Structure 1
Amino acid sequence: MVQGRNEADRTLDAQHTQQPTQVRRAALAGAIGTTIEWYDFFLYNTAAALIFPHLFFPASSSYAGAMQSFATYAVGFAARPVGAAIFGRWGDRIGRKATLIVTLLAMGIASGLVGVLPGAATIGIAAPIVLVLLRLIQGIAIGGEWSGSVLLAMEWGDQRKRGLLGSFAQIGVPVGLVLGTGGMTLLSAMLSSDAFNSWGWRLPFLASLILVAVGLVIRLRILETPMFAKVVTERRTSSRPVADAIRHHWREILLSAGLRFSEQMPFYLYTSYVLVYVVARHHYSKTFVLNAVLIAALLELFLIPWFSHLSDRVGRKRIYLVGAVLTGVLAFPYFAALKDGGYVLIFVAIVVSMIPHAMQYGPQAALIGESFPTHLRYGGAGLGYQLASVFAGGPAPLLATWLLQETGTPFSIAAYVVVAAAVTVLCVVLIADRSRADITAEATYAR
């Protein structure tokens, strides 16, 4: 911890003289880091829908192949809380910066290896096994990435703008979606179907190694956050931060997970499962659906910071509740458009579905981060955020595939979305709104 205290002392010395520069670097580091993480993650999602069923599960039927492919997809989500616990411990003990460098390297290397992994036709059963292992590494890395990226900006910047500053890490999701989906869209349009399925899909995975190098350069130039530096110099770090977060803030962890249901679960249905439903069931082109998802992601680039800024003015919970209610209201119209709408309505439905998501995802970083004291914030916020992955994000495409097979109607999936929205509304009502609280003060978290 001596090295950590030296880093903390340098941070506190630079807090006033270098703060504007460090705030910009922290915001950029958060945005670029999560962009790389989510670029890799969305590449996998898209490939899981379009490529992996026949490459890694060629002996299965179309339905079984999709289920097996989405099962490997769900494995990454199940690993996220594990990553949040592992990296949460180090993020609250040695600092945000060092921990984030490790998560970035792990994610990038795993994604690069997916890009060179042979299929089942070449190495047999080893192919899906190695794919699952790499997916586990991806999930563990991203489980530790989010809270650190959010806290870099939140803990360095103006506390009256925590919502806006926290949203820079959230912007990484639509940017990663644009780069990942955009790369797949471009390649699927430029290459023949055989070329894309055999080697073209691998190129974006290999390109992630270049992005990792860029991210490392940026992260190595930032200092530890002033809030955590103060905790270190005052010797208030916890020896068991994750255990302490669970013991003293279990309610906030569970509510943080629950408030993500109507944001996360529909998002993965609308950006990943939609590829299977619209392309396989209704025979629209991959390029058409990928273009719609791409436009939706571009729209979120503007909506996420705007709604986050708005949450600094009127409160996080107010914006979040509107987004959750809209998610439930739009669920049945969305799937009606996919089922019977034609090109225009399907395109509009995919794009419009991102508006309520942005209303929740933008303010979400600050809403969750503010729920935990500084010395337990990395682990507590990470656990709350990533626990939703086990129950909401990960199983969503798998359950949607099963529901459609069993009921024969996409409206069963719409009902699933409405239930998720109801869970979120309840959790948002119950969680404390600390939009204007002093989150450096321990008294803020007294019961």
Structure 2
Amino acid sequence: MKINDKVRKKQMKKVALASIIGTSIEWYDFFLYGTMAALVFPQLFFPESSSFMGVLQAFITLFIGFLARPIGAIIFSSYGDKIGRKAALVTSLLLMGISSTLMGLLPTFDTVGILAPILLVILRFIQGIGVGGEWGGSVTLSVEWSSEKSRGLMGSMTQLGVPIGMLFSTAVVSLCIFLTGDSFAVWGWRIPFLLSFVLIIIGLAIRLGIEESPEFTKMKEENRTAKNPIIESIKGHPKEIVFAALTRLADNVPFYIYTTFLIYYATQHLQIDRQFITNAVLLVSVTFLFVVPLSAYLSDLYGRRNITLAGMILTLVFSYPYFAMVNTGETSLIITAIIISSIGPAIVYGPQAALIAEIFPVHLRFSGASIAYQFASIIAGGLAPMISLALLDRFGSTSSISLYVVICCTISIIALFLLKPVDQLNMAENKPNVV
């Protein structure tokens, strides 16, 4: 299906906007949970546990969302590779928004006892399924509508959802803390979740206006869609899936340590003001907003691998200085550490969408990219806060957490070199098997 440049450019703008808005809303919901898990969920849903166990249990429920993400990837990507990218994106947005809204209406442990954390876990699991189907569809649609020379930058439109979603969720929480004061832990925490209902309406209105990608439409017209895209992706591209997932350790692990875990560590161990550290974490999002599209653009010019490697090395090098600066308790040093620590993961994250999407042929792209990306959520970000908490409790020092980041970055660097080079790959020339 031949698309003229005028139509392609117009649709690219629509898809870019839909990717940014839609993924921002989904990540708003996902990150909102992480912030609440560090601030109030231990007291609200696990009040009978010790301080340490309450936080650990809250982080375990946080992990449930990551555990569900590959399941969401399997469900939605199979659907997206057979039926269409757009339909999968609309459904995932609805699922995420409804589950988040219901969280704002949950009774706490004091009201219904053990039923409260059970309901929390169920809704968190549904959240994970929703976000698991989001990334692959958004990236695939963005990359397939882009020109050959702008796949990195276009793919980063989906990646921008992370900093925007986190920025918005953290800002809303900070505002609610300020406005509700001591009542935040009583009822103020519900407001950010209830806001999700309004956001999904906005997201749906935008996403319903985009068109299916020309590559997928052509493939469907020619009856070349995969019968079992998940199975075919795993059987046909196992190394690509594993190596791509491992490259995500370098950005996903430090990201959740420097955001979710930091809020707990700073408030409970360093006795830093809750309002200050919540606001300070906003700087991670601000840094990502600038660095992610820049690194993606540079990857279009100088190659995905080169730019990604630079980010991995920077993340590794700064892992020890980061905690050394945070542990001083000095606000200026904490802010500096937060900004610098964000740059490396942001550089890695920028080209990541195109890097992973380019590995797979059109008929398996949604499935293959989704599985690779979301599998990393289990072994990387989902475990990072819990592992960091366990390391701090076991060794009583943040040095072990820094070593954990170093090991993850080293694994990612090795995986990056084992991943077949696909920079500037002309995906339109990928010849999928006729099924």
Q: Supply the distance in 1 between the matched residues of 2:300 and 2:75 (Cα, whole angstroms).
A: 31
Which residue of 2 is the match for residue 180 of structure 1?
Answer: 169
Q: Supply the distance in 1 between the matched residues of 2:429 and 2:136 (Cα, whole angstroms).
A: 20
Aligned 8 A contact 1:27 1:152 in 2: no
Aligned 8 A contact 2:76 2:133 in 1: yes
Letter in 2 for 1:77: F
Aligned 8 A contact 1:323 1:357 in 2: yes
| Aligned positions, number | 433
- Measured after TM superposition, the shift of residue 433 of structure 1 is 2.6
Paired residue secondary structure (1:116)? coil
> Considering only aligned residues, what root-mean-square deviation do their CA atoms show, in Å?
1.3
Which of 84, 87, 93 matches 2:82? 93
Instruction: Write out per-residue CA displacement over residues 61-87 of structure 1, whole angstroms, 9 at most, x where no aligned residue.
Output: 110000000000001001111111111
Which of 32, 53, 57 matches 2:46? 57
- Superposed counterparts of 1:125-164, under 5 Å: 125-164=114-153
- Measured after TM superposition, the shift of residue 229 of structure 1 is 0.9
- Measured after TM superposition, the shift of residue 13 of structure 1 is 7.2
Instruction: Write out per-residue CA displacement over residues 178-197 of structure 1, whole angstroms, 9 at most, x where no aligned residue.
Output: 1000101111122212x111
Which residue of 2 is the match for residue 279 of structure 1?
Answer: 267
Which residue of 1 is the match for residue 243 of structure 2?
Answer: 255
- Measured after TM superposition, the shift of residue 17 of structure 1 is 5.5
Q: Does 1:200 align with 2:191?
A: no
Which residue of 2 is the match for residue 42 of structure 1?
Answer: 31
Aligned 8 A contact 2:61 2:124 in 1: yes
Which residue of 2 is the match for residue 167 of structure 1?
Answer: 156
Q: Supply the distance in 1 between the matched residues of 2:5 and 2:223 (Cα, whole angstroms).
A: 22
Which residue of 1 is the match for residue 339 of structure 2?
Answer: 351
Q: Does 1:298 align with 2:286?
A: yes
Paired residue secondary structure (1:393)? coil
Paired residue secondary structure (1:191)? helix
Q: Supply the distance in 1 between the matched residues of 2:171 and 2:128 (Cα, whole angstroms).
A: 22
Letter in 2 for 1:265: V
Which of 399, 406, 414 matches 1:411? 399
Instruction: Write out per-residue CA displacement over residues 81-112 of structure 1, whole angstroms, 9 at most, x where no aligned residue.
Output: 11111111001000100010000000000000
Q: Does 1:189 align with 2:178?
A: yes
Letter in 2 for 1:395: L
Structure 1 unmatched ranges of 5 or more: 1-11
Identical positions, percent: 45
Which residue of 2 is the match for residue 231 of structure 1?
Answer: 219
Which of 360, 373, 376 matches 2:364? 376
Q: Supply the distance in 2 between the matched residues of 1:123 and 1:41 (Cα, whole angstroms).
A: 25
Instruction: Write out per-residue CA displacement over residues 9-43 of structure 1, whole angstroms, 9 at most, x where no aligned residue.
Output: xxx47665522221111111111111011000011
Aligned 8 A contact 1:164 1:309 in 2: yes
Instruction: Write out per-residue CA displacement over residues 413-432 of structure 1, whole angstroms, 9 at most, x where no aligned residue.
Output: 11100000001000111112
- Superposed counterparts of 1:8-27, under 5 Å: 12=1, 18-27=7-16
Instruction: Write out per-residue CA displacement over residues 260-279 of structure 1, whole angstroms, 9 at most, x where no aligned residue.
Output: 00110110011100001001
After superposing the two structures, state which structure 1 stretch, 343-352 or 168-177, moved more: 343-352
Paired residue secondary structure (1:310)? helix
Aligned 8 A contact 2:156 2:292 in 1: yes
Aligned 8 A contact 1:77 1:390 in 2: yes
Q: 1:54 to 1:341 in 2, by over 3 A?
A: closer
Q: Supply the distance in 1 between the matched residues of 2:97 and 2:104 (Cα, whole angstroms).
A: 11
Paired residue secondary structure (1:432)? coil
Which residue of 2 is the match for residue 6 of structure 1?
Answer: none
- Measured after TM superposition, the shift of residue 351 of structure 1 is 1.6
- Measured after TM superposition, the shift of residue 405 of structure 1 is 0.4
Instruction: Write out per-residue CA displacement over residues 264-312 of structure 1, whole angstroms, 9 at most, x where no aligned residue.
Output: 0110011100001001101111111111111221121111111100000
Which of 54, 57, 72 matches 1:68? 57
Q: Does 1:421 align with 2:409?
A: yes
Stretches of 4+ aligned residues off by more than 3 angstroms? 12-17
- Measured after TM superposition, the shift of residue 228 of structure 1 is 0.8
Letter in 1 for 2:24: T
Q: Supply the distance in 1 between the matched residues of 2:59 and 2:277 (Cα, whole angstroms).
A: 18
Instruction: Write out per-residue CA displacement over residues 298-328 of structure 1, whole angstroms, 9 at most, x where no aligned residue.
Output: 1211111111000000001001011111111
Structure 2 unmatched ranges of 5 or more: none
Q: Supply the distance in 2 between the matched residues of 1:16 and 1:162 (Cα, whole angstroms).
A: 15
Which residue of 2 is the match for residue 30 of structure 1?
Answer: 19
Q: Supply the distance in 2 between the matched residues of 1:437 and 1:331 (Cα, whole angstroms).
A: 33
Q: Supply the distance in 2 between the matched residues of 1:73 and 1:271 (Cα, whole angstroms).
A: 13
Which residue of 2 is the match for residue 3 of structure 1?
Answer: none
Aligned 8 A contact 1:437 1:444 in 2: no
Which of 123, 141, 151 matches 2:112? 123
Q: Supply the distance in 1 between the matched residues of 2:216 and 2:422 (Cα, whole angstroms).
A: 19
After superposing the two structures, state which structure 1 stretch, 16-25 or 121-130, moved more: 16-25
Paired residue secondary structure (1:283)? coil
Paired residue secondary structure (1:282)? coil
Q: Does 1:435 align with 2:423?
A: yes
Q: Does 1:340 align with 2:356?
A: no
Which residue of 2 is the match for residue 7 of structure 1?
Answer: none
Instruction: Write out per-residue CA displacement over residues 308-361 of structure 1, whole angstroms, 9 at most, x where no aligned residue.
Output: 000000001001011111111111111111222521111111121110011000
Q: Supply the distance in 2 between the matched residues of 1:409 and 1:349 (Cα, whole angstroms).
A: 18
Aligned 8 A contact 1:38 1:172 in 2: yes
Letter in 2 for 1:304: V
